[in-house]
Amino acid sequence: MDILIMAGQLILGLTILVGVHEMGHMLTAKWFGMRVEKFAIGFPPKLFGKKFGETEYMIGAVPLGALSKSPV
């Protein structure tokens, strides 16, 4: 059971780390005036999403990374 808890903590920690990293990309792009179409924590399929302004923020089913997508 301890191994499952440690694996869950590892996945959660990596997801938070990668999410913060990708958020840095997104905020920098917006700061320089680029349009950001999507920002997701986790990979598809999409579990939940909400559009604010021109950016769609999503939570994906596979919590092993993040995505920040610009049209360029």
Catalytic residues: 22
Q: Which residue has the tokens 């917006």?
A: 30
